[in-house]
Amino acid sequence: MDRDPSWTARLPWMLAFAVSMAWLESAVVAYLRALYYPGGFGFPLAPIDPGLALIEVGREAATLVMLMAPGALLTRRRLARFAWFAILFGVWDVFYYVWLKVFLGWPASLLEPDILFLIPAPWVGPVLAPCIVSAGLVALGLLLLHRLGRHPLFRVGAKAWAWMATGAAVILASFLLDPLRYIARSGAAPWSVDAADGSGLGQLTGYVPGPFAWGVFLAGCALAVAGMVMALRRAR
């Protein structure tokens, strides 16, 4: 088995990588908002060139690859790779908003709605929600690495993975429910970044987020936490 007892020594560099990536991500968003939202970001979304919208989708996919790569370079163990990805993703996501606050003074509140992601369809939710998820991912990643450092044969059971995956799916649903309802009423394809009016993400033209599905979100968090507890209590 591939054992990495020095994960704590590597952690500062991994955190520096995630924080630096968040700076770059926030800088790109700052440029976009200067172009499309000179008066400040808000809903409904401003029309964006379809070509730039496609580049944005590609940038998000590339970001995920970049967050997976460091862990893959450090270890051959899939569980350790997942743990590093969870830590990097969580730190990157939280500091993305930290840097936006530094650069733009936004968000004014943690309850302010934001476009969170575009793959496979637009995710929308208050800033607080992804920050909660990210904090959970960082905690899970650190606990897994700690457990692997002490017990190299540690495994997460299929039942625990199922609970965590179900929780993740429910959390994802909380981000997708409102925008997909709007898109369904408009008759547009949820994965489209083009529109008849020539604007990218045209399926959200005129969209203003309704109340966030906090009940669905918190139910997903509860399922995921239950899976995390199950995973960490059962070592095989």
Residue pLDDT, tens place only, 72-103: 998 889 999 999 999 999 999 999 999 999 99
Residue 79, exposed/middle/buried by CB under 10 A (0-12, 13-18, 19+)? middle
For residue 46, give the 3-state DSSP assignment. coil
Question: What whole-number distance in Å separates Cα of residue 138 and Cα of residue 125?
Answer: 20
Going by C-alpha positions, the residue among 149, 177, 144, 167 that lies closest to residue 218 is 167
The mean-pLDDT minimum among 24-28, 60-64, 176-180, 192-196 falls in 192-196
Tell whether 83 is covered by a domain.
yes
Long-range contacts of 202-208 (CB under 8 A, 24+ apart): 202/47, 203/122, 204/44, 204/45, 204/122, 204/179, 205/44, 205/45, 205/47, 206/44, 207/43, 207/44, 207/45, 207/179, 207/182, 208/43, 208/44
Tell whether 55 is covered by a domain.
yes
The pLDDT confidence band at residue 192, using thresholds 50, 70 and 90, is: low
**pLDDT tens readout for residues 2-54:** 454 588 889 999 999 999 999 999 999 999 999 999 988 988 888 888 888 88
For residue 164, give the 3-state DSSP assignment. helix
Q: What is the total count of domains within the chain?
A: 1
pLDDT at 67: 96
Tell whether 53 is covered by a domain.
yes
Residue 191 lies in domain: 7-233
Tell whether 1 is covered by a domain.
no
The pLDDT confidence band at residue 191, using thresholds 50, 70 and 90, is: low
CB 178 within 8 A of CB 124: yes
What's the pTM? 0.89
**pLDDT tens readout for residues 107-162:** 999 999 999 988 877 899 999 999 999 999 999 999 999 888 888 888 898 999 99
The pLDDT confidence band at residue 234, using thresholds 50, 70 and 90, is: low
| DSSP 8-class letter at 80 | H
Question: What whole-number distance in Å separates Cα of residue 13 and Cα of residue 19?
Answer: 10
Tell whether 100 is covered by a domain.
yes
Tell whether 135 is covered by a domain.
yes
How many other CB atoms sit within 10 Å of the CB of residue 115?
20
Tell whether 2 is covered by a domain.
no
Tell whether 108 is covered by a domain.
yes
